[in-house]
Amino acid sequence: MEDKMHCVTLIPGDGIGPEITEVARQCLEATGVKLKWEVVEAGSSVVDKYGTPLPSYVINSIRKNKVAWKGPITTPVGGGFRSVNVALRKMLDLYMCLRPYKYYPGVRSNYKNVNLVVVRENTEDLYAGIEFKEGKKETSEVIHYIERLKNVKISEDSAISIKPISAAASQRIVEAAFRYALKNGRRKVTAVHKANIMKYSDGLFSKVAREVAYRYAGQIEFEEKLVDNMCMQLVQKPELYDVMVLPNLYGDILSDLCAGLVGGLGVAAGANIGEDVALFEAVHGSAPKYKGQNKVNPTALLLAAGLMLDYLGEQAAAEKLDKAIAEVIREGKAVTYDLKPGKTEGVVGTREMGEAIKSKIK
Ligand code: NAD
């Protein structure tokens, strides 16, 4: 049978984005999977030409190909545009953020037994961006309205952020976590929230999670944890946990905690998945201070490529790639600076680490 050709939108990004995507792309192609790239630019470099960091051709290309692989994109602090990364997730309704955290022997970490998956809701919660600035007329109106409605006192100099959690969005993310667990031979899903304090918003997430879990009883274990306790548990005994499903903000925070458990941002990858579109990227950002220096670790973007291959049904290639990455990290002879803090022996640049990984793909 002819191997299938996959058309994929490739967004190189900015900062360290172009150099890591170039190196990672060569490794990905070495797996033998047939990939046809549609390269599109987004971010500050296209603002002058198109008046926006996210021109419609980027969205159109992803909608057409249904799969995108993306380098990091800088978000200007203060002025300028809002995050292109957040906008992409919103516009394409990529409601599931999937982040596996696995320990690779050879990575410097205090933990060895980590094999966790964070499933983060990607569309609502405090990330919805519904905010009221302190001192504004509309903020004062909101404050007085809430005071009347709830018979409470809110200080006039407050800023307000709204946290919407819906039954529908909670249901689809918990369902997605269970489906993932089942498909990937995982044993347990832990729903993480703070329903003891946020009885309605997190309470709804918890109620919906229990309803979904009921349908998977006997197939996948289920438990709930309060987010503060979950942080402590993960630091003390991460080996007890498996798949965790969380509302947006807790998912964001726990993702970085888990990245810390497995050795940092250089080895943390993620997928943003919707009904029929998915976007794969590293968890880290554009690290502008290292731009063009052939210094940073291409692994996170490569691990994201592995998730993409899996999504495309190319499991054999995904395994080949994962094995090659694991071998290079285990040998420790050609890895980037972040995997060997304080050492120079065996430390190489982005391209050299990419070459080492490519040479191991068989
Ligand atoms: P960052 O992840 O870019 O970098 C923080 C530090 O982590 C770097 O200085 C570096 O020491 C280390 N690091 C990051 N990637 C690495 C790699 N591949 N190998 C080795 N070390 C690595 O975070 P930041 O500095 O807070 O953000 C920079 C820009 O990136 C911001 O504009 C931010 O908004 C954006 N950002 C984009 C995305 C995305 O595109 N999805 C994600 C996060 C941040």
Q: What pLDDT, in 10s, does the model give residues 196-241?
A: 999 999 999 999 999 999 999 999 999 999 999 999 999 999 999 9
pLDDT digits (tens, 9 = 90+) for 4-24: 999 999 999 999 999 999 999
Q: For residue 305, what is the DSSP state?
A: H
Q: Is the pTM of this model over 0.75?
A: yes
Q: Is 265 in the pocket of ligand 1 (CB under 6 A)?
A: yes
Query: Model confidence at 138, in pLDDT bands (50, 70, 90)?
Result: very high
Query: Model confidence at 2, in pLDDT bands (50, 70, 90)?
Result: low
Ligand 1 centroid–CA 163 distance in Å is: 26
Catalytically annotated residue among 66, 70, 194, 225: 194
Residues 255, 283: contact at Cβ < 8 Å? yes
Total residues found in the chain within this entry: 362
* CA proximity to 99, closest of 254, 263, 317: 254
Q: Which atom of ligand 1 is nearest to the CA of 70?
A: 40
For this structure, is 194 an active site residue?
yes
Per-residue DSSP letters for 30-54?
A: HTT-EEEEEE---SGGGHHHHSSSS
Q: Is 73 in the pocket of ligand 1 (CB under 6 A)?
A: yes
How does the average pLDDT of the chain come out, rounded? 95
- Checking phi first, is residue 78 left (phi over 0); if not, alpha (psi -120 to 50) or beta? left
Residues 126, 285: contact at Cβ < 8 Å? no
pLDDT digits (tens, 9 = 90+) for 184-196: 999 999 999 999 9
Q: How far is CA 224 from the centre of its chain?
A: 22
For this structure, is 252 an active site residue?
yes
Q: Which atom of ligand 1 is nearest to the CA of 338?
A: 20
Separation of first and last alpha carbons in the chain? 21
Residues 329, 104: contact at Cβ < 8 Å? yes
Query: What residues pair up with 96 in beta bridges, in sequence order?
Result: 121, 273
Q: Is 295 in the pocket of ligand 1 (CB under 6 A)?
A: no
Ligand 1 centroid–CA 259 distance in Å is: 13
pLDDT digits (tens, 9 = 90+) for 235-275: 999 999 999 999 999 999 999 999 999 998 999 999 999 99
